[in-house]
């Protein structure tokens, strides 16, 4: 049996990637699987997933081995990078997967397999004329604290113009984790207000979508019938970097359109060239590490954490374009 563990601090996108990779490998290898701490699943109100295919196996977590995904540290981009790690497919029995796992290559035989693993609960509250709507999945929150991570306004305005060239009659609406930020950032665009469930359903139903560099949108986009057009930021979480390098090649998804910082949609051939160049650079790295390198304990006291959260909340109200 192989395992993953849902942590309290994990985002839904990260949880779903870990789960999909677990199921894909278990299915490909014909072995049993189990999700530990299933109660921490953030999508339980609107998504159905299976905790295990063999409830009769008793698990002692302390006895499990760890299977860590290989990662890279890109010093120039100042980011942790990930790519497809072939060794993960050969995970040993009685192992717990630890990693980012956001490459479609883990999904065997292809990305459509996720529809066998994740089911969306029916919801009739999201009925709109989706042929006339384009969703902007605007990410704010903690992204605002990282100038290299948050996407500039030009990305969104250029993407809107590119979508209009395909369908000039579209109405644009925002789905976001940070409504105060969106109100100030793109005040002319209506926000579809709601919780994580509403955001998921709105992206799931969209036929035209402009995404941020966040893992959240991947699964609502690829479950069920896929959209007509998806525009995404080239190089993902280091959009427009001067090295023309992907922050993580694992986040390239072949059916999406990739827009550069000048507003140009690159051809598939040119995008593949950027991936080849990035992977060539990774091969030069002398320092690589496994996912366990990232697992550090928070040394702050409970009181300090509460104080930090309060001041962050206060600043997000006073300065929504900067703090989240």
In a domain, 318, yes or no: no
Looking at the structure, tell me whether residues 258 and 150 fall in a common domain. Answer: yes
pLDDT at 321: 67
User: Would you mind telling me the total number of residues written for the chain in this entry?
Assistant: 324
Q: Calculate what percentage of the chain has a pLDDT beyond 90.
A: 77
Q: What is the pLDDT of residues 106-126, one digit of tens each?
A: 999 999 999 999 999 988 788
Tell me how far apart the terminal alpha carbons of the chain are, to the nearest angstrom. 40
pLDDT of amino acid 144: 87
Residue with tokens 């644009």: 172
Residue at which a domain ends, from 87, 120, 153: 120
Mean pLDDT of 146-152: 91
Contacts of 157 (CB under 8 A, 6+ apart): none
Q: pTM above 0.75?
A: yes
Residue 293 lies in a domain: no
Higher pLDDT, 290 or 41: 41
Does one domain contain both 258 and 161?
yes
Q: List, for residues 253-286, the tens digit of each pLDDT value.
A: 999 999 999 999 999 999 999 999 999 988 886 5
Tens of pLDDT along 45-86?
999 999 999 999 999 999 999 999 988 888 899 888 999 999
Over range 284-294, report the average pLDDT. 58
192 in a structural domain: yes
Domain co-membership, 105 together with 159: no
On whether residue 201 sits in a domain, the answer given is yes
What's the mean pLDDT in 28-34? 98
145 and 89 together in one domain: no
| Nearest of 148, 217, 220, 233 to residue 177 by alpha carbon | 217
Is residue 294 one of the residues assigned to a domain?
Answer: no
How distant, in Å, are the alpha carbons of 24, 99, 217, 272 from that of 89? Answer: 9, 13, 25, 24
Say if residue 322's pLDDT is above 70: no
Count how many domains the chain has. Answer: 2
Cβ contact 81:61 at 8 Å:
no
Last residue of a domain, one of 120, 146, 178: 120
Identify the pLDDT of residue 296. 47
**Are 136 and 276 within one domain?**
yes
Looking at residue 290, what is its pLDDT?
58
Of 60-74, 152-166, 170-184, the least confident: 60-74
pLDDT at 308: 45
pLDDT band at 294 (very low <50, low <70, confident <90, very high): low
Residues 251 and 135 reside in one and the same domain: yes
Q: What is the model's pLDDT at position 124?
A: 77
Within a domain: residue 324? Answer: no
Split at pLDDT 50, 70, 90, the class of 226 is: confident
Least confident span in 26-35, 92-101, 123-132, 259-268: 123-132
Same domain, residue pair 162 and 270: yes
Q: How many H-runs (helices) and E-runs (strands) does the chain carry?
A: 8, 15
Decide: 132 and 206 in contact? Cβ < 8 Å: no
Q: In this structure, are 194 and 272 located in the same domain? A: yes
Domain limit, last residue, from 120, 140, 170: 120
Average pLDDT of the residues of the chain: 90
Is residue 273 assigned to a domain? Answer: yes
Domain membership flag for residue 232: yes
pLDDT of residue 287: 52
Structure-model confidence comparison of residues 322 and 74, the more confident one: 74
Q: Are 102 and 80 in contact (CB under 8 A)?
A: no
- 221 lies in which domain range? 130-280
For the segment 126-145, the average pLDDT, to the nearest whole number, is 93
Are residues 101 and 144 located together in one domain of the fold?
A: no
């Amino acid at each position: 049996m192989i395992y993953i563990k849902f942590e309290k601090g994990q985002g839904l996108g990260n949880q779903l990637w870990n789960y999909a990779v677990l199921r894909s490998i278990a299915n490909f290898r014909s072995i049993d699987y189990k999700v530990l701490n299933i109660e921490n699943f953030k999508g339980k109100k609107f998504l159905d997933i299976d905790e295990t295919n063999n409830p009769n196996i008793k698990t002692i977590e302390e006895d499990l081995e760890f299977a860590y995904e290989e990662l890279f540290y890109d010093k120039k981009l100042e980011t942790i990078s990930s790519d497809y790690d072939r060794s993960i497919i050969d995970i040993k029995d009685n192992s717990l997967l630890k990693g980012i796992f956001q490459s479609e290559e883990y999904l065997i035989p292809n990305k459509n397999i996720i529809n066998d693993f994740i089911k969306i609960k029916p919801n009739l509250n999201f009925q709109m004329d989706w042929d006339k709507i384009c969703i902007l999945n605007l990410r704010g929150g903690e992204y605002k604290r990282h100038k290299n991570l948050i996407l500039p306004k030009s990305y969104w305005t250029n993407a809107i113009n590119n979508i209009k060239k395909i369908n000039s009659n579209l109405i644009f609406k925002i789905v976001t984790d940070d409504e105060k930020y969106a109100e100030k950032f793109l005040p002319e665009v209506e926000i579809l207000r709601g919780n994580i469930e509403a955001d998921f359903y709105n992206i799931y139903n969209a036929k035209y979508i402009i995404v941020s560099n966040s893992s959240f949108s991947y699964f609502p986009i690829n479950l069920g019938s896929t959209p007509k057009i998806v525009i995404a930021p080239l190089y993902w979480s280091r959009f427009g970097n001067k090295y023309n390098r992907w922050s993580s090649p694992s986040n390239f998804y072949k059916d999406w359109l990739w827009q550069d910082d000048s507003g140009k949609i690159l051809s598939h051939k040119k995008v593949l060239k950027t991936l080849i160049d990035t992977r060539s650079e990774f091969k030069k790295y002398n320092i690589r590490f496994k996912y366990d390198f990232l697992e550090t304990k928070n040394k702050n006291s409970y009181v300090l954490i509460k104080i930090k959260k309060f001041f962050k909340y206060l600043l997000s109200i006073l300065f929504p374009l900067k703090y989240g």
